[in-house]
Amino acid sequence: MLTLKKFEEAAEKVKEVTLQTNLVYSEYFSAQSGNSIYFKPENMQYTGAYKVRGAYYKISTLTDEERAKGLITASAGNHAQGVAYAAKIYGAKAIIVMPTTTPLIKVNRTKSYGAEVILYGNVYDESCEYALSLAKEKGLTFIHPFDDLDVATGQGSIAMEIINELPTVDYILVPVGGGGLATGVSVLAKLLNPHIKVIGVEPAGANCLQESLNAGEVVTLQNVCTIADGTAVQTPGKKLFPYLQQNLDDIITIEDEELIVAFLDMVENHKMIVENSGLLTVAAIKHLEVKDKKIVSILSGGNMDVITMSSIVQHGLIQRDRIFTVSVLLPDKPGELVRVADIIAKAKGNVVKLEHNQFVSINRNAAVELRITLEAFGHEHKNEIVEKLEENGLRPRIVKTNL
């Protein structure tokens, strides 16, 4: 059972391996939403995510014999690092099965804690099946990443810290993959103050808990598709489901496109790197139809590789019209390129890339195509640049940007 005594025990135990992640007040998101928005920055943990809490507390409850057998788990990355780090502290051998799609940074960091990593399966659920078979074959102790009450109790220590720091919190937004974090946070929050609303946030492409709650029983999605790899789970925890049914107040689902602009907002306004799964609760802020409430958004992790970061920044700038591409047709004669460049310069546009295509028409005297990729300040500035091109007799056409 998930009891207050157990939560208090776990909250003290995890202090041995966690950094103090004080709430961060967000002026930007508070102004945007009309609420008081605070972030719980678990992306700043030593292992880059909250998962070390549940992993360490679970391993602390094992017997010496269970630890001596060796530990095994399956994870998309953050639980893997938590188990590997905790196992290292206890001097236990750890094997981690990770999906083949796991970002390289998570694989390398897991190995850096001394764990053996096996890449297997395209999604977490396939990795988990393989890890369970290895546990049975080799007599290893399996540490489930979420469907375990001790693991959930360890994750719930986050709620203890939130309420201790902000006793008057109204809403807590929590990311949902398999449901371990959501279970721990929602159960403890309700034990301490039943008036606190706890909202689970899932990627729209992996909304296994939402579908299960709608069905009234645990269901398995046929497939998952989301850039939030840490929450790409097909089936929520069966042991956890009754607790989630009872204690979660609502579920919000987030499209991948919303995570892209949320990443940009966090980098620009808070100078923080938050991985896609951790950004779920940031993107969910605008979905809450409330005002003048104190809302805590849990940033569950920050383990994102540089290539993914680069891609998300580029797509975010395009979504916000801060980078766009316009196509114009020009006579193939000297001076035309300079004329267009002068119009753009006077409109304070910054040219990123030019593509000059002489073969768009068989009559080169009539027209060649010039595609200009530009940097702008945003939507209004983009429109101003396009209007200036139109005013000067050009017929600009917005086309897809390829960086």
Instruction: List the catalytic residue out of 51, 58, 239, 382.
Output: 51
Q: In the annotation, is 300 catalytic?
A: yes
Residue-wise pLDDT for 235-245, tens only, equals: 999 999 999 99
CA 53 – CA 372 distance, rounded (Å): 50
Residue 402 in this model has a pLDDT that exceeds 90: no
Q: Which of 26, 127, 297, 300 is catalytic?
A: 300
> To the nearest whole number, what is the mean pLDDT of the chain?
93
250-254 and 294-299 beta bridge pairing: unpaired
Of all helices (H) and strands (E), which one includes residue 352? strand 350-357
For CATH 3.40.50.1100, list the domain ranges present in the chain.
Answer: 4-50+149-316, 52-142
Concatenate the DSSP letters of all residues of 213-272 into one string. Answer: HHHTS----S----S-GGG--SS--TTTHHHHHHH--EEEEE-HHHHHHHHHHHHHHH--
Q: Domain 4-50+149-316 - what CATH class?
A: alpha beta
Residues of the chain with CATH 3.30.70.260: 321-399
Pick the CATH number of 52-142 from 3.40.50.10700, 3.40.640.10, 3.40.50.1100, 3.40.50.300: 3.40.50.1100
Reported as a single tens digit per residue, the pLDDT across 312-356 is 999 999 999 999 999 998 888 888 889 999 999 999 999 999 988
Architecture of domain 321-399: 2-Layer Sandwich (3.30)
Q: What is the pLDDT of residue 360?
A: 67
Integer CA distances (angstroms), 32 to 36, 37, 248, 270, 286, in order: 10, 10, 25, 14, 8
Based on the residue annotation, tell me whether 51 is a catalytic residue of this protein.
yes
Q: Average pLDDT in the 194-218 region?
A: 97
Instruction: Give 83-142 pLDDT, tens digit per residue.
Output: 999 999 999 999 999 999 887 888 998 999 999 999 999 888 899 999 999 999 999 999
